[in-house]
Amino acid sequence: MAPTERPLVVAANRLPLARAEDGSWTTSPGGLVRALLPTVQETKGSWVGWTGERDGQAEVVHADGIDLYPVPITSDEVDRYYEGFSNGTLWPLYHDAIRESNYRSDEWDSYVDVNQRFAIQIANIAPPHAAVWVHDYHLQLVPGLLRELRNDVRIGWFNHIPFPPLELFQRLPWRSEIIKGLLGADVLGFQRRQGAHNFMSAAQNLLDATELDEGLVHYEGRNVNVGAYPISIDVEDFELQASGRATRQRTAQIRSRLGDPEVILLGVDRLDYTKGIGNRLQAFGELLDQGRLDPERHVLVQVATPTREGVEQYQDERREIEQIVGEINGRHSRLGFPVIHYLYQSLPLDELIPLYRAGDVMLVTPFRDGMNLVAKEYVAAHVDGDGVLVLSEFTGAADELGEALLVNPHDDHALQNTIVRAVEMHRHERRPRMEAMRKRLETSTVSDWAKSFLDVLIDS
């Protein structure tokens, strides 16, 4: 079979679906969907995943020319597989163990069950010789389980988050099972070279896999490609939306609503403890306390998307952030002019893009992040060629956006000094930095990312 004829099956924890008002389903246009939709459509492919509903139905949905196959997940499994093992064990462990992970065997058992259900569903619906692309840390056992069921398909897996160093990974009581599961794939993709390297080292140390060549590992009679494939965004679409008249008008309106300050600082994140929102706010507050920033000239907008609200650590994080916002506003705001504008909301793209454009200084300060698309979205939205990006060195994006002001978010003084430097940066320095980042981004879009991974998956 010619490689281009291989139909594509995508498997991810979530289906790219949103419930319409009349109860029907439509595809929801996230970056991943936009990147993969054309290929899935061309090859008459399909998508396997969870609808996000507890005890949901398993009916096939046909939308936008693709078949979407829901994997039903019970309420108990949402607690154990999703909120428990995926987000209470793997998520913190894979992000430098920034919070203590739970290691509970009932949650692990549920993770195995759900991975098994995904593998069976994929095996049932994948056409002969299909290319199956599995996504993320929720589904690390799927490659191995699927290989046992269907040896004719090509299997790829991409990790959207970091893969931890062996010293941390080996805390996991089920570490060997996870590596074995992943080694069932033909191609394993990571955001950064470091992630690929960490995986290699775990495979060699925990399972006696052998590295044949750089990026090629041998295990139980098969070779597996291991490499870095940094994800990106639909740059053209962002640029197009950012240049429109409606965006320009809304940008001007936002500036004026904020009181026409000299500098608007901006943070946009899921409200996650990995994103370093609290440290960023504290640094801003400290600078106001010291008089190095002035509440009449500098305002901060922080937009935080609600996320994983059922997990206790996220409830704690939210309380802490809202307390910091309250304290700083209490000290430094004037009537009608808060110094921090805080929104705990998810914004539509036609509001987010004008906000990016209004942001003179973008603060992206995670303690650890696989890539961080917000940094790339900010750069793509700045079609005016202006704006300063402050970027944590612990993000994947820092590998590509070296002209940002890179900072260690654990270092309070460095964070404060970098914010001041960004606020005071002259346009003669700002513009060439932004231009260099924009140029690089234009040659590394989300479709380049998908194509480079699929080329290896289909041809290897």
Active site residues: 160, 369
Strand ranges across the sheet with 8-14: 61-63, 66-70, 46-50, 8-14, 131-135, 154-158, 187-190, 222-228, 216-219, 210-213
The residue type found at 440 is R
CA distance 321 to 426: 31
Nearer CB in complex with ligand ADQ: 242/352: 352
Q: What is the largest CA-CA distance in the chain?
A: 70
Give which of 378, 397, 398, 373 is closest to 388, Cα–Cα: 378
Nearer CB in complex with ligand ADQ: 137/219: 137
Query: What's the min distance (Å) between Cβ of 232 and ligand ADQ?
Result: 9
Query: What's the min distance (Å) between Cβ of 62 and ligand ADQ?
Result: 26
Q: What is the DSSP letter of 101?
A: P
Whether 164 contacts 196, CB under 8 Å? no
Binding site for ligand ADQ (CB under 6 A): 31, 160-161, 231, 268-270, 303, 305, 345-347, 352, 369-374, 377
Query: What's the min distance (Å) between Cβ of 233 and ligand ADQ?
Result: 7
Q: Counting Cβ atoms within 10 Å, is residue 217 exposed (0-12), middle (13-18) or buried (19+)? A: buried
Return the SS3 of 323.
Answer: helix
Q: Tokens 């190095």: give the residue.
A: 292
User: Six-digit token pair at 62?
Assistant: 């046909």
Query: What's the min distance (Å) between Cβ of 273 and ligand ADQ?
Result: 11
Query: What's the min distance (Å) between Cβ of 158 and ligand ADQ?
Result: 8
Q: Counting Cβ atoms within 10 Å, is residue 232 exposed (0-12), middle (13-18) or buried (19+)? A: buried
